[in-house]
Structure formats: C-alpha cells, structure tokens
Amino acid sequence: MDKDLIEDEILTDIAVQLLILEGVPVLAFVYYLLHKKQMYQLERGIEEKDDKQIRSERRIINGLFLTLAGSSMILAPSFAVLVGIEAHLSFELLLASLVVLCAGMAMIIGGELIKYKASFSKDRDSLVELKQDLFSK
C-alpha cells in the first residue's frame, strides 16, 4: 500500500516538473516572438493601435482557457477513477490547479474591466467632442 502511495507522489512530482520545464520555455518563446514582431513593426514604421476591445476579448479568452485548465486539473483524478485508473488528488496538484483557476478568473475579471473602461472612455470622448462643438459656435 505504501509503495502505491510513493509511486503516486513520484508521478505527481514528475507531472509538475514537466509542466514547469516545458511550459516556461514555451511561454518565453512566445514572448520573444511578440517582441520580435513589435521590433519589426517599429523598424518599418508601422504603428499598431492599442484597441482596448481586442485586448479585453483576448484576455477573456485566455482567462476562459486557464479557468477550464484549472478545473480540469482538479477533476482529472475523478475522471481517471471512472475509466478505471487509480488516481488521487494530491495537495500539490490541488494547489497548482487552484493557482491556475484563480489566474483564469482574474484574467476574465480584468478583461471585463478593460471592456467597461473602454466603453466608458468612448462615451467620454464623444461627450468632450459634443461639448467642444457646442461651445465653438
């Protein structure tokens, strides 16, 4: 019995280590490519507009992905038991899942806040333009 518990802990440790060892370089590569794209655009004189609506939609999509990934990490041992694989939700897996889940929810909330602020600033700009038109005549 103790041998199975030790094997489960080793397997969980290997999964977390693989996630870190493979995830961090991939993320660094993505940021490198984004940086190269920005530098190329600056060299060519192409100015990329920062559309808050697109930013908020991208953040919401990324937040949904992280939220679903975190919840699937929590539910994966339960699904494994249904299939017949012996698996347990360890504390490390639960902690990592909660971090991913909370990060996803924070990104969703942040995306909604950006969307709200973008709509508020658009209304404000139109009010400023209306005010300038009224007082310029």
Q: For 71-111, how does the pLDDT look when each residue is reduced to its tens digit (9 = 90+)?
A: 988 888 888 888 887 878 888 888 888 998 999 999 999 88
For the residues 32-58, what does the mean pLDDT come to? 82
Task: Check whether residue 35 and residue 59 sit in a common domain.
Answer: no
Let me know: does 110 contact 28? Beta carbons within 8 Å: no
Task: Check whether residue 37 and residue 75 sit in a common domain.
Answer: no
Task: Check whether residue 56 and residue 121 sit in a common domain.
Answer: yes
**Would you state the pLDDT for residue 34?**
85
Count of structural domains within the chain: 2
**Residue numbers of the domain that contains 13:** 1-48
**Would you state the pLDDT for residue 47?**
75
User: Which pairs from 45-48 meet CB under 8 Å and 24+ separation?
Assistant: none
Task: Check whether residue 129 and residue 111 sit in a common domain.
Answer: yes
Task: Check whether residue 54 and residue 119 sit in a common domain.
Answer: yes
pTM over 0.75: no
Query: Residue 9: pLDDT above 70?
Result: no
Let me know: does 88 contact 8? Beta carbons within 8 Å: yes
Task: Check whether residue 58 and residue 7 sit in a common domain.
Answer: no
